[in-house]
Amino acid sequence: MYQRLSAVLFPIFAVLLAGTAFWGYQEHQEKNRILVKAENQYQRAFHDLSYHMDQLHEELGNALAVSSTSNFHRKGLINIWRLTSQAQSEVNQLPLTLMPFHETESLLANLATFSYKTAMRDLQKQPLSAQEMKVLTTLYQQSKEIKNDLRKVQESVINNHLQWMDVEVLLASGKENYDNDIIDGFQLMNKRVGENGDVDWGPTVSAMNRRLTMKSLDGPEITPEEAKKRAAQFLGQSDMSNMKVVENGADTDFVTYTVSIPRKNQEPMQLEYTKKGGKLVYFLTERTVPQMKLSIDQAVAKGGEFLKEHGYDGMKAVAFDEYNNVASIVFARVVNGVTVYPEKLTVKVALDNGEVSGLSAGELLQGGLTDRIHDPGMTEADARKLLNPNFRVKDVGLAIIRNDLEEAVLCYEFLGSINGGDYRIYLNADSGFEEKIERIRTSDAEASDGNNQTQ
C-alpha cells in the first residue's frame, strides 16, 4: 500500500518541486531585470548630469565673453535656464534624497530662476547690470568646480565599475560613515558649494524668495494674553479659560502666537496672530462635511458676510475651488475700483450649512501695494487695439498683479473668450505689454460674477 501511495505521490511532489524551483528562478530573473533597469536609469541620469554641467559652464563663459548690451544674452540666458532645468531633473532622478545635497540643489534652483527671469525682460531697454554680470562671473567659477567634481566621480564610476544601487542601499541603511566614492564625491561637491557662500542674486531672485516678515507690519507687540483676547473677540466668546497659547519662530523675523481651543472628539480650533501688531494670520476649525447643499453663489455670499463681520472690507471673490464638500474661495482687495490681486485671503466655507471653517490672511498682511495705483499711461481704447481681433471682451477693469519677474504692475484686466475658452489677459496699463494670460475655470467665473464685494 505504501509503495503504491509513494508511487503516486512522488511524481506529484517532483512536479511541485520543479514548479517551485522554476517559479523561484523566474522571480529571481525578474528581480535582476528590475535591478538592472534601475541601475541603467541611474547611470544614464548621472552621466547626463555630468554632460549638462559641462555645457552649463560653457554657456556661462559665453555669456561673460560678450558685452552686457549684446543681443546674444537673451539666447544665452535661455540656454542656461534650459541646461539648469535639465540638470535639476537629473539630480532628482538620482538616489540623493537621504544625502545632504541641499546647497547644490539650491544653487541650481536659484540659477534657473535668475536666468529665466532675466531672459524674459526686454534686454534692449534693460540690459544686464554690473551686479548681474558679477553674478554670472561667480556662477561661472562655481559651475567649474561642480563640473570638475562630477568628472572625478565619473572617472571613479567608470574605472571601478561602481553601482548606483550600492549607493541607494548604503544611504537607506542609515549609517553615518560611508565608504563609497560616489557618496564621498557628491558630499564634497555640496560642501564646496556651501563654503563658497551665498550668491548675491539681486532683486530678480530675491523677489521670488520673498517671505513674510515683521517689517511689513505696523503696531506694537502683543502678549500671549492679548492674543487670547483677540481670539475670543474674533469668535464672539468671553470665556478664555480653555485657551492655550504657543509662541512660534522666537529666533526668526516673523514671530507669531498660536491660540488653540480644544473641542470634544474633534481637532482643536486654532488661530494664529503676529506678535507685532497682533494681526490674524489664519483661523482654522475643521470638521467633516457630509453633503453639499449650497451653490457657488451662496458659498461666496457666506464668505463675503464673514469677512465683512470681521473687518475685512473691500474684498472681491476672484477664485473658487471645492474639495470634500468644502469651498475654498479667494478674495482680493479692491481699492478705488482697482483689484489688487497680491493682497488676497482665502476663506473656507462648509457647503452643508455655510459655516466658515477657515481663513488664511498671510498674503494680505504683506500689503503695501496701493501706492502702485496711478493713472494709466495709456487709455483703455488704446489697450483694446493690442488684443487679438477675435478675442471677445466681456468685461474690463484695472488690476495690480505680480508679473513673471515678481514685480507689482498696474494692468488693464480684460475678461473675454476665444476658441471656446474664457481668459483673463493682463496688459500693462503704461506700456501695453502682455504681462500675463490666464485660462478661467467655470467655477472661478461664477465666483467672480455678480456683486460679491464686501463693503
- Per residue in 106-143, pLDDT tens? 888 888 888 887 887 777 778 888 888 888 888 889 88
Is the pLDDT at 5 greater than 70? The verdict is no
The per-residue pLDDT of the chain, averaged, comes to 83
The confidence score (pLDDT) of residue 424 equals 94
> Would the pTM count as exceeding 0.75?
no
* Model confidence pLDDT, tens digit, residues 321-380: 888 899 999 999 999 999 999 999 999 999 999 999 999 998 888 777 777 789 999 999
Say whether pLDDT at 390 is over 90: yes
Share of residues in the chain with pLDDT > 90 (%): 33
- CB distance 346 to 328 below 8 Å: yes
Residue 243 confidence (pLDDT): 93
Considering the domain boundaries, does residue 259 fall inside one? no
**Does residue 328 lie in a domain region?**
no
- The pLDDT value recorded for residue 403 is 83
pLDDT in tens, 441-452: 776 766 666 445
Residue 280 inside a domain? The answer is: no
User: In sequence order, which residues have a C-beta less than 8 Å from that of residue 119 and are 6 or more positions away?
Assistant: 73, 74, 77, 78, 81
pLDDT at 101: 75
Is 76 inside any structural domain? yes
pLDDT at 120: 75
pLDDT at 179: 64
Q: Which residue has the higher pLDDT, 430 or 38?
A: 430
Residue 95 identity (one-letter amino acid): P
Residue-wise pLDDT for 182-219, tens only, equals: 877 888 888 878 877 677 776 555 554 555 555 667 78
Is position 426 within any domain? no
User: Virtual CA dihedral for 150, 154, 157, 160, nearest 10 degrees?
Assistant: -120
Could you list the residue range(s) of the whole structural domain that residue 86 is in?
2-208
Query: How is residue 93 written as a grid cell?
Result: 532622478
Cα gap 27→273, rounded to integer Å: 58
pLDDT in tens, 147-183: 898 888 888 888 888 787 777 777 776 665 566 778 7
Predicted confidence at residue 250, as pLDDT, reads 76
At residue 29 the predicted structure's pLDDT band, cuts being 50, 70 and 90, is low
Distance (Å, rounded) from C-alpha 447 to C-alpha 252?
A: 37
pLDDT band for 63, please (50, 70, 90 cuts).
Answer: confident
Mean of pLDDT values over 59-63: 89
Predicted pLDDT at 194: 80
Q: Looking at the DSSP assignment, which residues form a beta bridge with residue 321?
A: 328
| 8 Å CB contact between 360 and 346 | yes
pLDDT of residue 399: 95
pLDDT of residue 42: 82
158, part of any domain: yes
Distance CA 264, CA 290 (A): 19
Q: Using one digit for the tens of pLDDT, what is the confidence trace for 401-420?
A: 988 777 889 999 999 999 98
Q: Of 136, 92, 133, which is closest to residue 111 (Cα–Cα)?
A: 136
The cell for 74 is 537673451
Q: Is the pLDDT of residue 90 over 60?
A: yes
Q: How far from 207 is each of 38, 113, 118, 373, 444, CA to CA, in Å?
A: 39, 10, 12, 20, 27
The label of the residue with cell 549684446 reads 70
The answer to whether position 400 is within a domain reads no
For the chain, what is the HEC assignment?
A: CHHHHHHHHHHHHHHHHHHHHHHHHHHHHHHHHHHHHHHHHHHHHHHHHHHHHHHHHHHHHHHHHCCCCCCHHHHHHHHHHHHHHHHHHHHHHCCCCCCCCHHHHHHHHHHHHHHHHHHHCCCCCCCCCHHHHHHHHHHHHHHHHHHHHHHHHHHHHHHHCCCHHHHHHHHHHCCCCCCCHHHHHHHHHHHHHHHCCCCCCCHHHHHHCCCCCHHHCCCCECCHHHHHHHHHHHHCCCCCCCCEEEEECCCCCCCEEEEEEEECCEEEEEEEEECECCCEEEEECCCCCCCCCCCHHHHHHHHHHHHHHCCCCCEEEEEEEEECCEEEEEEEEEECCEEEEEEEEEEEEECCCCCEEEEECHHHHHCCCHHHCCCCCCCHHHHHCCCCCCCEEEEEEEEEEECCCCCEEEEEEEEEEECCEEEEEEEECCCCCEEEEEECCHHHHHHHCCCCECC
Average pLDDT value for residue range 242-271: 86
pLDDT score recorded for residue 153: 86
At 302, the pLDDT band (50, 70, 90 cuts) reads very high
262-276, 293-307, 315-329, 364-378: which has the minimum mean pLDDT?
364-378
Indicate the number of domains in the chain: 1
323: left (phi over 0), alpha (psi -120 to 50) or beta: beta
Number of residues assigned to the chain = 455
Rounded to whole angstroms, how far apart are CA atoms 24 and 34? 15
